[in-house]
Structure 1
Amino acid sequence: MLKKRQRYVPDLQEMAALCEANYLRLLKLLAGAEVGDERIFQLSNDLHSAQVRLCVDEDHRYTTMVSVIQEGLSPDWLQPMSMQVRLYHDASMAEVLSYQNQQRFDGRYSYPNPAMRMPDEKVQLNRFLAEWLDHCLKYGQTIQPIELPQRILPVR
């Protein structure tokens, strides 16, 4: 007898917690940043070196758009890993909007699907962002000096 697959049910509490934690991580990493500003974090060990670049692309009253790009650790013929993240200041959340030029991620996908996305693709992308930002906070060294902030990013 074939067992029927259970349909994936998104865990909204987990997603909200991820987005709230990512918002706080980005605030720490982008303290005082304005549109056009970027922070570059050098991540290296004895064998490898990479950089994570955070760029403030847009800043509006209730939202800010940030690009997160990893450079290094991949051959020249591969596109560097990148994502667009929107910070929602009124909700104190940050959400991945695009990854590797793929946009519009649904909260749940049936599987298999034409794009071959996992059922929990959106949660996985936000988890991946959390790991990236945590790594920058724990091990990253800023390449350019960061001045003490005159303002914190979400203040309007």
Structure 2
Amino acid sequence: MRKANYVPKLPDFLSLCERNYAALYRLLPQKSVVGERVFIRFTERDEYCLTILAVAPFTTRIQIELSGGWHGFFQPSFDVQLYHDARLAEVVRAQQQWHFVAVYPYPNQTMSQPDEKRQINLLLKDWLNLCARHGYHATSA
């Protein structure tokens, strides 16, 4: 029996991006300036750095990366584009991969999941939930 192809559900994806925007927007400074950083600390050794990469009238791009912890192991890093007019946040880079498409054929050369774009935005949601429960702002640099 053949498995049905993945079909993205746009309303569900937009709802996810809206929730991510609301949670992420609370972590950012009132007025975003390129190069500004915000640190979210979980323990003395584990903290994430949010860096403002670009600011435009309707968008802001930020980078989220682990700045403390175990260097040499997997270092999570992703870029998020915030669309202020639509109040959406979308992951546009995860690790070394850019420009995700809505649906990937499976199997494929990069071994991406059929719903890879949704999965990386769910990762952002999980990270934001972790920040809300256990993280706290550290001093900005």
Normalised by the length of structure 2, the TM-score is 0.91
The match for 2:54 is: 58
The match for 2:100 is: 105
Letter in 1 for 2:2: K
Letter in 2 for 1:120: D
Secondary structure in 1 matching 2:34: coil
Q: How much identity, in percent, do the aligned residues show? A: 34
Query: What stretches of structure 1 of length at least 5 have no aligned partner?
Result: 146-156
Q: 1:31 aligns with which of 25, 29, 44?
A: 29
What is the Cα deviation at residue 34 of structure 1?
2.2
Residues 67-115 of structure 1, C-alpha deviations (whole Å, 9 max, x = no match): 01123444x3235110011001111101000000210111111111011
Secondary structure in 1 matching 2:67: strand
- The 2-side partners of 1:31 and 1:25 are apart by 13
What is the Cα deviation at residue 49 of structure 1?
4.2
Q: Is the 8 A contact 1:29 1:137 kept in 2?
A: no
- The 2-side partners of 1:128 and 1:49 are apart by 22
Q: After TM superposition, where is structure 1 displaced by more than 6 Å over at least 4 residues in a row?
A: none
What is the Cα deviation at residue 12 of structure 1?
1.0
Secondary structure in 2 matching 1:55: strand
Query: What stretches of structure 2 of length at least 5 have no aligned partner?
Result: none
RMSD across aligned positions (CA): 1.6
